[in-house]
């Protein structure tokens, strides 16, 4: 029966970054969470610290978290995603005014915030080996070189790929090829693709992207869903995350289990998964056992406990739902470009639905 006669205690899926991300999100996406300690996260999620860095880096890249200090992140929440995406888009568009034709797309330039802690105009750019053109001349230095390969940057560039172009399905090796064009060196490519898998898994767990395959070939690929998804042709099966209800905290959330190869009869760390309810065009659904439906989402094996709150008629807290229009006008940047306006209102739309879920629980600060 069993192939290797081992008591297979180890399941790779249970250890996936995507799942960890879901758990992370459900753990911290709740009332009164403002600051997140990495040690605490690692402890409560039952993983080693190294893994926390992985997800934290990509979460930060899409605005959900912000680094506050050593070992400390602050929770920005899903409400921060729209602005982060918008920002990435602006950057991508600006830094890369020449639209790309899919063939030779130079690396999208880096860095989000205007943190000019690199005082000085830099003079030494001993940095070769990059095909990028950096408008931010403060490149160079080993630090920059290292940053250039960081998960965070790769995440941002990956996202820019989508938000700055009409592309919405791309395979990872295409992406790897585009991002930082070292298409030749296969070793570098492999590493990069590995990283993209990592990134894709956490973005998937947030439903910013989903897995599919390219139209022509059967090659696996990822489709951009964004905040509400824009289907190219009609079908609008768009998923957006929304706040998880309170999780019962009785049982501790821990993922401690077996090592890869070692037998370990410790707790069967069956982590209660994030009980996200997904929304499709305003109707919330539980994807419990959508096994044979379209596809099961990235929730891993022991997915969504039925948490329900399906009858969304209960907590429609009329109080404290803001006037969206005024909010919108408050935060609306002044675009002259119609396309950007459209995009913004699109984001706004998605953001509203998020916010209405969150309303009454936790104010979103948009700084």
Partner DNA sequence: GGCTCCCGCCACTGT
Partner DNA sequence: ACAGTGGCGGGAGCC
Residues near DNA, by CB under 7 A? 8, 10-13, 15-18, 38, 47-51, 53, 56-57, 70-72, 142-143, 145-147, 149-152, 172, 187-188, 190-191, 193-195, 197-198, 200-201, 220, 259-261
Rg of the chain over Cα atoms, rounded to whole angstroms, equals 21
- Least distance in angstroms from the C-beta of 22 to DNA: 12
Query: Quick one: 51 or 160, whose CB is closer to DNA?
Result: 51
Query: Which stretch of DSSP H or E encloses residue 234?
Result: none
Q: Which residues does 79 contact at the CB level (< 8 Å), separation at least 6?
A: 351, 354, 355, 358, 364, 366
User: How far, in Å, CA of 104 to CA of 110, rounded?
Assistant: 18
Q: Which residues does 98 contact at the CB level (< 8 Å), separation at least 6?
A: none
- Least distance in angstroms from the C-beta of 328 to DNA: 34
- Least distance in angstroms from the C-beta of 62 to DNA: 15
Q: Which two tokens stand for residue 133?
A: 């053109």
Query: Quick one: 259 or 322, whose CB is closer to DNA?
Result: 259
User: How far, in Å, CA of 188 to CA of 170, rounded?
Assistant: 19
- Least distance in angstroms from the C-beta of 64 to DNA: 15
Query: Quick one: 7 or 246, whose CB is closer to DNA?
Result: 7
- Least distance in angstroms from the C-beta of 3 to DNA: 9
Q: Which of these, 242, 236, 229, 314, lies nearest to 278 by C-alpha position?
A: 242
Query: Quick one: 262 or 320, whose CB is closer to DNA?
Result: 262
User: How far, in Å, CA of 142 to CA of 120, rounded?
Assistant: 16
Query: Quick one: 27 or 52, whose CB is closer to DNA?
Result: 52
- Least distance in angstroms from the C-beta of 335 to DNA: 32
Query: Quick one: 188 or 327, whose CB is closer to DNA?
Result: 188
Query: Quick one: 11 or 315, whose CB is closer to DNA?
Result: 11
User: How far, in Å, CA of 312 to CA of 290, rounded?
Assistant: 20
- Least distance in angstroms from the C-beta of 258 to DNA: 8
Contact present, 284 and 306 (Cβ < 8 Å): no
Q: Which residues does 163 contact at the CB level (< 8 Å), separation at least 6?
A: 85, 88, 89, 92, 224, 226
Query: Quick one: 94 or 190, whose CB is closer to DNA?
Result: 190
- Least distance in angstroms from the C-beta of 72 to DNA: 7
H helix intervals, the chain: 17-28, 38-45, 49-61, 81-95, 141-148, 151-163, 172-178, 186-205, 324-331, 338-358
Q: What is the DSSP letter of 159?
A: H
User: How far, in Å, CA of 172 to CA of 140, rounded?
Assistant: 28
């Amino acid at each position: 029966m069993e192939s290797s006669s081992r008591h297979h205690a180890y399941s790779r899926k249970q250890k996936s970054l995507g799942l960890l991300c879901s758990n992370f999100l459900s753990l911290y996406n709740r009332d009164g969470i403002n600051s997140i300690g990495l040690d605490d996260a690692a402890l409560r999620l039952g993983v080693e610290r190294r893994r926390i860095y992985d997800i934290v880096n990509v979460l930060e890249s899409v605005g959900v978290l912000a680094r506050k200090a050593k070992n400390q992140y602050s929770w920005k929440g899903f409400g921060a995603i729209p602005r982060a995406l918008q920002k990435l888009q602006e950057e991508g568009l600006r830094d890369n005014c020449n639209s790309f034709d899919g063939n030779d797309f130079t690396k999208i330039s880096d860095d989000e915030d205007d943190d000019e802690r690199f005082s000085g105009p830099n003079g030494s750019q001993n940095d070769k080996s990059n095909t990028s053109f950096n408008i931010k001349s403060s490149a160079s230095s080993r630090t920059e070189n290292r940053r250039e390969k960081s998960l965070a940057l790769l995440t941002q560039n990956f996202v820019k790929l989508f938000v700055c172009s009409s592309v919405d399905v791309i395979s990872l090796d295409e992406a790897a090829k585009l991002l930082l064009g070292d298409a030749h060196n296969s070793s570098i490519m492999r590493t990069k693709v590995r990283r993209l898998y990592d990134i894709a898994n956490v973005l998937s767990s947030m439903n910013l992207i989903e897995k599919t395959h390219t139209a022509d070939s059967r090659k696996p690929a990822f489709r951009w869903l964004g905040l509400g998804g824009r289907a190219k042709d009609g079908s609008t099966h768009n998923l957006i995350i929304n706040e998880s209800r309170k999780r019962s905290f009785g049982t501790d959330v821990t993922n401690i289990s077996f090592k890869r190869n070692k037998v370990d009869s410790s707790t069967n760390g069956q982590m209660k998964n994030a009980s996200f309810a997904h929304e499709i065009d305003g109707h919330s659904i539980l994807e419990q056992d959508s096994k044979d439906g379209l596809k099961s989402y990235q929730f891993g094996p022991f997915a969504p406990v039925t948490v329900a709150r399906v009858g969304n008629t209960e907590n429609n807290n009329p109080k404290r739902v803001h006037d969206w229009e005024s909010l919108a006008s408050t935060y609306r940047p002044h675009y002259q470009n119609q396309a950007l306006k459209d995009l913004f209102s699109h984001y706004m739309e998605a953001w509203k639905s998020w916010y209405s879920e969150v309303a009454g629980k936790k104010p979103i600060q948009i700084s």
